[in-house]
Amino acid sequence: MDKHVEVSVLLQIYGKLLTEKQYKVINDYYNNDLSLSEIAENLKISRQGVRDIILKGEDKLFEYEEKLAIMKKGQLQEKQIQIILTQLDEIKEGSSDKKVEKILNEIQKELKVLA
């Protein structure tokens, strides 16, 4: 996964565990596409100060993920759901029973909500 996307996802998961300033700076940098200079100007601090906040915040996000693995578990769950959906499609194609097909459609609908 691209680091930019990974940090953005981690920020969604663990962002509330960061300081308010870390959250704002990382969100502006990764999600709002602001440059270091733009963020520095908005906060009236140096570019280096912004970079330090980003690096410390990223370290925290990766540390939280290493300990809690919420993103990893979520990705694994999505893969498993896709495998199950594929298997359900195969069962539906091999079945001529309308009742079975209806049940499988219901299951697929519920699993798609989770994916």
> What was the pLDDT predicted at 89?
86
User: At a CB cut-off of 8 Å and minimum separation 6, what does 22 contact?
Assistant: 53, 56, 57, 60
**Block means of pLDDT (10 residues each) for the chain, length 115 residues?**
94 97 98 97 97 98 97 93 89 81 86 81
> What was the pLDDT predicted at 50?
98
> What was the pLDDT predicted at 71?
96
Domain ranges of the chain: 3-68, 74-114
> What was the pLDDT predicted at 51?
98
CATH of domain 3-68: 1.10.10.10
Residue bearing tokens 């290493």: 66
> What was the pLDDT predicted at 107?
87
